[in-house]
C-alpha cells in the first residue's frame, strides 16, 4: 500500500515538473520580453517644452518601451570637439523630467545620444565623420556618454545606447571597448549600440555589449518607384531579414531594430533614410512600407524588439515626415504593438 502511494506521488510530481518546464519553455519563446517601442526625439529648441502629451500618445498606442533621442552637435565632419551642455542647464533638466514622466506612465526607457553636424556639405553626416584629432574627439565623446550614463543610472533607465550610426568610427575596437567598460562603472542597465543599416558587418565591439540595435532604414526598392506594390515591399523585407540574420549570426548577442520608420511621401520606400527631401504626400506608401515590415517580422522569434520612428509635435496627418499618428499607418503600428504584448 505504501509503495503504491509513493509511486502515485512520484508520478504526480513528475507530471507537475513536466508541466512547469513546459510553461517555462512557452514563456522563453513568447514575446513577454519583446521591446515594443516608439521613438520620441527630444529635439525641440525650447528646452522648457513639455513632452507629456506625446508620451501619453505612446502610452495610448500600448507600447511598453519609449526611446528618447538626445541631440548633441559638432561643427562638421572633421571637428574634434563635441558641444556638451553644462550641468544644471535646461537641456539636462528636460531629460531628467521626461524620464520621470515616462516611468510614471509605466514605460521602460531607452536613451540614445546622437551626434549631429552644424555644417554639413552634401553627403556629410555622422556616419562619415573623420575628426582631425581622434584622441580629442573620443575624449569629448566619452565625457558626453558618461554624463548621460550618470543620469540614466540615477533615474532608472533600462537601456542606454553608447552610440548611433557612427559608421566611420565603429571600427576602432579598443577605443569602444574601453568606453563601454567605463560606462559600466557609471550605469548598471543594458548597453547597446545602434548600427546603421549598411554598416552591420563593420561593428567591431559587439562582444562588449548586451544587445545590438540596427537603424533599419533599408531601401525597399532599387529605383524611385512612386507606386511600389505591397508584394514587392514584403519580398524586399523578407530578403532584408534573411541578410540581417546572416550578418548577426557571428555576434551572439540579441538584436533589435533601434529605429524603423517611413515618411508619408512619394519615394519613402526608395530612400527611407532621407529625412528632408521634398515631394508629394503619399499616405498609402507609408502605410504599405509599414505593412511589409510588420508582416515580415510579426511572428519572428529572433527579433528582440523594434522601436517605431517616430511621434512628433508637428504634422499629425498633414506633414511629409515620419510621424505616423493621425495617419493610416497608425492602425498598423497599434496592431503590431498589441500583437507583441498579448
* Structure confidence by residue, pLDDT tens digits, 298-308: 999 999 999 99
Range of the domain at 76: 35-341
Decide if pLDDT at 9 tops 70. no
pLDDT of residue 4: 52
Residue 30 in domain:
no
Residue 216 in domain:
yes
Distance from chain centroid for Cα 330 = 18
CATH number of the domain where residue 51 is located: 3.20.20.80
At residue 314 the predicted structure's pLDDT band, cuts being 50, 70 and 90, is low
**Cell digits for 300?**
519572428
pLDDT of residue 79: 98
**Cell digits for 235?**
519580398
Decide if pLDDT at 75 tops 70. yes
Could you give the CA distance from residue 293 to residue 322 in angstroms, rounded to a whole number?
15
If you average pLDDT over residues 179-193, what whole number do you get?
98
Phi, psi (deg, nearest 5) at residue 81: -115, 135
Could you give the CA distance from residue 193 to residue 171 in angstroms, rounded to a whole number?
13
Comparison of pLDDT for 288 and 10, the residue scoring more: 288
Comparison of pLDDT for 193 and 16, the residue scoring more: 193
Residue 4 in domain:
no
pTM of the model: 0.89
Residue 86 in domain:
yes
DSSP annotation of 110 reads E
Total residues found in the chain within this entry: 342
pLDDT of residue 77: 98
pLDDT of residue 27: 36
Could you give the CA distance from residue 39 to residue 213 in angstroms, rounded to a whole number?
13
DSSP annotation of 86 reads P
> In 3D, which of 218, 194, 324 has the Cα closest to residue 274?
218
Could you give the CA distance from residue 53 to residue 6 in angstroms, rounded to a whole number?
62
If you average pLDDT over residues 237-254, what whole number do you get?
95
Could you give the CA distance from residue 86 to residue 88 in angstroms, rounded to a whole number?
6
Query: Which residues on adjacent β-strands are paired with residue 260?
Result: 308
Distance set, CA 297 to CA 57, 83, 331, 337 (Å): 24, 38, 17, 12
Write out the H or E segment, with its range, that includes residue 152. helix 134-154
Using one digit for the tens of pLDDT, what is the confidence trace for 252-261? 899 999 999 9
pLDDT of residue 3: 52
Burial class (CB in 10 A: 0-12, 13-18, 19+), 37: buried
DSSP secondary structure letters along 56-83: HHHHHTT-SEEEEEEEEEESSTT---EE
Residue 25 in domain:
no
Could you give the CA distance from residue 200 to residue 196 in angstroms, rounded to a whole number?
7
Residue 241 in domain:
yes
Write out the H or E segment, with its range, that includes residue 116. strand 108-117
Residue 41 in domain:
yes
Residue 22 in domain:
no
Torsion on CA atoms 331, 263, 103, 71, rounded to nearest 10:
180
Overall number of domains in the chain: 1
Q: Are 296 and 247 in contact (CB under 8 A)?
A: no
Using one digit for the tens of pLDDT, what is the confidence trace for 126-168? 999 999 999 999 999 999 999 999 999 999 999 999 999 999 9
The overall average pLDDT reported for the chain is 90
**Cell digits for 229?**
506594390
Distance set, CA 68 to CA 58, 152, 161, 290 (Å): 12, 11, 10, 21
Amino acid at each position: 500500500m505504501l509503495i503504491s502511494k509513493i509511486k502515485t506521488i512520484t508520478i504526480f510530481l513528475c507530471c507537475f515538473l513536466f508541466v512547469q518546464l513546459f510553461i517555462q519553455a512557452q514563456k522563453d519563446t513568447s514575446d513577454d520580453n519583446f521591446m515594443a517601442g516608439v521613438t520620441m526625439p527630444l529635439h525641440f529648441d525650447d528646452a522648457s517644452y513639455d513632452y507629456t502629451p506625446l508620451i501619453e500618445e505612446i502610452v495610448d498606442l500600448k507600447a511598453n518601451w519609449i526611446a528618447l533621442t538626445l541631440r548633441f552637435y559638432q561643427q562638421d565632419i572633421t571637428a574634434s570637439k563635441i558641444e556638451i551642455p553644462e550641468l544644471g542647464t535646461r537641456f539636462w533638466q528636460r531629460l531628467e523630467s521626461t524620464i520621470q514622466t515616462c516611468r510614471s506612465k509605466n514605460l521602460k526607457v531607452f536613451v540614445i545620444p546622437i551626434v549631429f553636424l552644424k555644417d554639413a556639405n552634401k553627403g556629410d553626416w555622422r556616419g562619415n565623420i573623420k575628426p582631425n584629432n581622434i584622441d580629442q574627439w573620443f575624449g569629448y565623446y566619452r565625457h558626453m556618454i558618461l554624463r548621460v550614463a550618470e543620469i540614466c543610472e540615477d533615474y532608472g533607465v533600462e537601456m542606454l545606447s553608447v552610440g548611433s550610426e557612427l559608421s566611420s568610427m565603429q571600427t576602432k575596437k579598443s577605443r569602444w571597448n574601453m568606453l563601454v567598460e567605463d560606462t559600466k562603472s557609471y550605469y548598471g542597465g543594458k548597453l547597446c549600440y545602434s548600427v546603421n543599416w549598411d554598416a552591420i558587418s563593420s561593428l567591431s565591439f559587439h562582444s562588449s555589449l548586451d544587445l545590438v540595435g540596427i537603424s533599419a532604414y533599408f531601401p525597399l526598392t532599387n529605383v524611385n518607384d512612386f507606386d511600389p506594390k505591397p508584394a514587392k515591399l514584403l519580398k524586399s523585407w523578407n530578403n532584408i531579414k534573411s541578410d540581417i540574420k546572416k550578418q548577426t549570426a557571428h555576434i551572439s548577442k540579441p538584436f533589435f531594430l533601434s529605429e524603423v520608420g517611413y515618411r508619408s511621401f512619394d519615394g519613402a520606400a526608395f530612400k527611407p533614410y532621407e529625412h528632408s527631401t521634398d515631394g508629394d504626400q503619399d499616405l498609402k506608401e507609408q502605410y504599405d512600407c509599414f505593412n511589409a515590415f510588420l508582416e515580415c517580422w510579426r511572428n519572428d522569434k529572433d527579433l528582440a524588439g523594434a522601436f517605431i520612428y517616430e511621434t512628433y509635435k508637428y504634422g499629425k496627418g498633414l506633414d511629409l515626415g515620419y510621424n505616423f499618428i493621425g495617419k493610416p499607418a497608425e492602425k498598423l503600428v497599434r496592431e503590431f504593438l498589441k500583437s507583441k504584448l498579448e
